[in-house]
Amino acid sequence: MSLSAPPETGTGARLRRYRRRLLAAAVIGLIAGLLAILPQSREFELRGIDFLLPLRHLVFGPLFPPSKSDVVVVAIDEQTYRTDPFSNTPKVAWTPYYGYVIDAVDAAGPKAIGLDTILPTTLDRPELLLGYDRPFLLSLRKAAMQNHLVMGETKLSGQMLAPYPGQVLAANGQDNVRMLNMPMEKDDVVRRYLAGYATQEGGHIPSFAVDLAQRAGAKPPKGDFIINYNTGPGDVPIYSMADLYACASQGKTDYFKKAFAGKVVLLAETLDIEDRFRGAKRLDWNEGASARAAPARCAVAADPNSFATNLDRKSMPGVLIQAAAINTLTKNLALTQLGVPATFLLVGLATFGLAAAFLALGPVSGALVGVTALALEGAASVAALQAKTVAPAASLLVTAILAYTLIYAYRFVIEDREKRWVQHAFRHYLAPALVDQLMDRPEALKLGGDQRLITVMFTDIAGFTTISEGLKETPGKLVELMNRYLTMMTGPIGARDGYIDKFIGDAVMAVWGAPLAVADAERKAVDAALDCRKALADFNRDVTPEYLPSGQLGTRFGIATGIAIAGNMGSEDRLNYTVTGDTVNLAARLEGANKEYGTTLMISETTAAALPKAENGGDGYVLRRLDRLIVKGKTEPIVVFEVLGRAGEVGAEDRARVTAFEAALAKHDARDFKGALAGFEAQAGTDPPSKVYAERCKGYLEAPPPAGWQGEFALKTK
C-alpha cells in the first residue's frame, strides 16, 4: 500500500499531532457523555444491574440472610397439588383450606398478609354449594379487621381479573384490593416496580407490594422505584401450603409464630406453568436454590422436586418479585440511578481518558489498558450498587469499545505515518475478527442443535372429534376439560424426568434425553405412560362425568427411542427448543398405529430392548410383540411391542393371553395361517389384536402374501 503523503516530522508537526489527538479525544468524550444521557441509554443502563448483582454477591455476599427477610411466602406448590386434601379436591373447592391456613398465619401475628393468587370463581352460589366459602370469607374478614389483608387483582389484555365480589366484600371492600401488575422492560425483565396507579378522580392508589410494605411500617416511595434484589439461595423463605395445612391441623401454633410473627406473608402459586417472570437476578438464580434452603417442614415431608423443578435461571414465580419489592421498601434498599449531570461527567471524562490513552498506545497496549480500565470501572460499579446506586456500567463499556474503535480508525485514516501499521493491527485485533463473527456466524443468534439419543412419547385422546362435537354448545367446558386433562397428564411425565416439548391440541409430546441426559430414559418414559394410564382411570371416575355424563376419555401412547436433532430451531427472531428427526416421527406413527390393533401403549423395538422383561415372576414389564410394522413414509419394517403393564400389575389371565397370542403369531410368521387363525379366533372376542390378526389370516388364506414375506404389515394410516 502506498502512502498518500509523507509523514509529518519536527517539533511543530508533533505538537499539531498532539493537539489533533487531544481534540479527537475530547470530541469522543463529549459524544460519549451525550449518548449516555439519552433516554434510551438511561433505560439500557438498568440492564447492567443483571450483571452487577452476581458480582456484588461474589464480593459482598447477600444483602441479608433468609432469616432476616421481612417477607415469607406460603406456596401453592407442586407438593400441595399432590398432597391430601388438595390432591383429591378441585382447586375451586380449596377455599376452606385457604381460610384454615390464613387463620393460623394471622393468629401468629404477621404485619400483613397478601394474596398473590386470584380466585375469580366460587362454589358458593345458590345453584351450587351455598355457604361453602363461609370459612374462607370469615378468615378474610378477620384479617381485614386487623388491617392485615391485601388482595390482588390484575389487568390482562385490557380485562380485569379480580377476586370474586363476595371475597372483596368480606375483605372490607376495594380499599384492600391492589393491582399486582409489574412493569417489564423491553427485554421482558422486571427491574422496576410501580409505586401506584392514578384514579379517574385524580387520586392515587398504591400498588400491591407498596401497600403491604406500608402496612409493615415502610415509608411510601416518592415514585416508581428500582428493585434491589437480594441474592443467594433461599433469600425469601418459602413454606408449602400442604405442610402448613397439616401443621395447623395438628395445632402447632409455635411453628407459625416462629415463621410468621412480624412478617409480611404472601400466599401464591409457585408452579412452572404460569405467573412467571424474568427478574434482574436471573443471572444469579441457581436451579433448586429455594429447595435447598427451604425452611424445615412442620408436618409433611419435604419433596425435593417441589421447588427445584420450577425455580430456574430463566424465570421465577411472580410472588418472589413481589417479595423482593417489599423487602426493598421495608429495608430501605431501593436503588437510585445516577443523575443525568453526574452520568454525563462520569462517562464523558472516563471516555476522554481512555481515548487519550488509545491515541498514545498501540492497539495491543491500548486493548490491555481498556480491559484494565473496564475492570476498575466494573469494580466501582459493584461498590456503587452495594451503596444503592446504579452506575452507568453499560455506557462505560459501550463507550470504551466505541472509543477504541474510533481512535484507531482515526489513526488509520488521519495519521499517515502509522497508517500501514495500524491497518495491520486493525485486521488482527478488531475489524476482521469481530465483524466477520457477528455478520457471518453470530453465536447468540445461532440456529440448529446437536445429535442426541432420546426417547419420545406422543399421546392423543381417542375419538376427540366426537368428544368436541358433544361439547360444541359449551366450548368453555371443552377447554376446561382439556386443561384439567392435560394437567393430569403432565404430572406423571414430570415426575419421571420427562420434558414437555409441546401440546398439540389434545395431544402431548414429551421427551427424555433432551435438553438434559436422563438415565433409564426408556424405562421412565414407559413408567410415565403407565402412570398416565392409571391417572386417567381415576380422572374418568372423578372428573370426566362432570363434562361427559355418558362418556369416557381414552388415551393412546406411542414411544420410540433413537437419535434425533435437539436444539434451538425456528427463525432468527423467534426460537424454540425442540427435537426433530425419524425417532420423533416414529413415535407419532406408533401412537396412531394403536388404532389398527385396538391397543393403547405401543413402543418401538429399541425402547423395548432397554426394558427388563417380567420373566418367572420377576420385576420388569409384560410386553408382547405386536407386529413387524411398516409405518407410513417408511419402506423397512420395524418390530413394535405393546406394553401391558409392570410385572405386578398384570394378572395370570392376561399373561396367558399374551402367551397364546405369541404362539399364534409364530405360526402366522411361519405362514401357517390356518393354525394361526385357530389360535387368534380362540381369544378374538376379548383381545382386539387377536381379532385383527384373525381377519388378516383369513385374508392370507384367500390371497397368500408374496414370497420373501416375513410377517411384516404395511400401515396405510397414521
- pLDDT for 313: 52
pLDDT band at residue 7 under the 50/70/90 scheme: very low
- pLDDT for 29: 82
Let me know how many helices (H) and strands (E) the chain has, helices first.
27, 25
Q: Nearest Cα to 461, choosing from 521, 544, 526? A: 544
Q: Nearest Cα to 63, choosing from 461, 332, 249, 294? A: 332
- Which CATH code fits 454-611? 3.30.70.1230
The residue with greater pLDDT, 413 or 429, is: 413
Separation between Cα atoms, residue 540 and residue 550, nearest integer Å: 11
pLDDT band at residue 573 under the 50/70/90 scheme: low
Mean pLDDT value of segment 42-56: 88
Q: Which of 108-117, 289-298, 453-462, 551-560 has the lowest mean pLDDT?
A: 289-298
pLDDT band at residue 644 under the 50/70/90 scheme: very high
**Residue 10 predicted with pLDDT over 60:** no
Separation between Cα atoms, residue 53 and residue 58, nearest integer Å: 9
What percent of the chain has a predicted confidence (pLDDT) above 70? 86
Mean pLDDT value of segment 551-575: 82
The residue with greater pLDDT, 296 or 194, is: 194
End-to-end CA distance of the chain: 68
Residues of the chain with CATH 3.30.70.1230: 454-611
Q: pLDDT of 442-493, one tens digit each?
A: 333 334 567 889 999 999 988 776 677 767 777 788 888 888 888 899 889 8
Mean pLDDT value of segment 638-651: 89
Q: Which of 51-55, 369-373, 571-575 has the lowest mean pLDDT?
A: 571-575
Q: Which of 24-33, 101-110, 332-341, 558-567 has the lowest mean pLDDT?
A: 24-33
- pLDDT for 673: 87
CA 575 → CA 47, 169, 448, 584, 585, distances in Å?
22, 46, 10, 19, 21
Query: Mapping DSSP to helix (H, G, I), strand (E, B) and coil, where does residue 220 land?
Result: coil
Query: Mapping DSSP to helix (H, G, I), strand (E, B) and coil, where does residue 58 land?
Result: helix
**Residue 184 predicted with pLDDT over 70:** yes
Q: Taking a C-beta distance cutoff of 8 angstroms, is the pair 148, 103 a contact?
A: no
Q: 438: Cβ–Cβ under 8 A, 6 or more apart, which residues?
A: none
**Residue 309 predicted with pLDDT over 60:** no
Mean pLDDT value of segment 555-562: 94
3-state helix/strand/coil string of 655-681: HHHHHHHHHHHHHHHCCCHHHHHHHHH
The residue with greater pLDDT, 425 or 497, is: 497
Mean pLDDT value of segment 48-57: 89
pLDDT band at residue 239 under the 50/70/90 scheme: very high
Q: pLDDT of 388-402, one tens digit each?
A: 999 888 888 888 888
Helix orientation angle between 688-702 and 673-681, rounded to the nearest 10 degrees: 150
Q: Long-range contact list for 485-490, CB < 8 A, 24+ apart? A: 485/461, 485/539, 485/553, 488/532, 488/535, 488/536, 488/539, 488/543, 489/459, 489/532, 489/535, 489/536, 489/555
**Residue 312 predicted with pLDDT over 70:** no
What phi and psi, each to the nearest 5 degrees, are found at residue 602?
A: -120, 135
Mean pLDDT value of segment 647-653: 85
Q: Nearest Cα to 522, choosing from 631, 621, 415, 639? A: 621
The residue with greater pLDDT, 268 or 550, is: 268
- pLDDT for 95: 93
Mean pLDDT value of segment 264-282: 87
pLDDT band at residue 428 under the 50/70/90 scheme: very low
- pLDDT for 423: 39
Mean pLDDT value of segment 101-118: 95
Q: Taking a C-beta distance cutoff of 8 angstroms, is the pair 166, 137 a contact?
A: yes
Query: In this structure, is the dihedral angle defined by the CA atoms of residues 616, 618, 624 and 628, taken in order, positive or negative?
Result: negative
> What cell numbers appear for 249 in the block?
391441623
**Residue 607 predicted with pLDDT over 60:** yes
Is 0.85 topped by the overall pTM? no
Separation between Cα atoms, residue 183 and residue 191, nearest integer Å: 8
- pLDDT for 412: 67
- pLDDT for 500: 84
Average pLDDT, the chain: 83
**Residue 274 predicted with pLDDT over 70:** yes
What string of DSSP letters covers 260-299? Answer: HTT-EEEEEE--SSSSEEEEGGGGGPPTTHHHHHPPPPSS
Q: Taking a C-beta distance cutoff of 8 angstroms, is the pair 333, 53 a contact?
A: no
Q: Nearest Cα to 81, choosing from 487, 509, 479? A: 487
- pLDDT for 132: 92
**Residue 117 predicted with pLDDT over 60:** yes
**Strand 389-390 vs strand 316-317: parallel, antiparallel, or unpaired?**
unpaired
Separation between Cα atoms, residue 246 and residue 298, nearest integer Å: 8
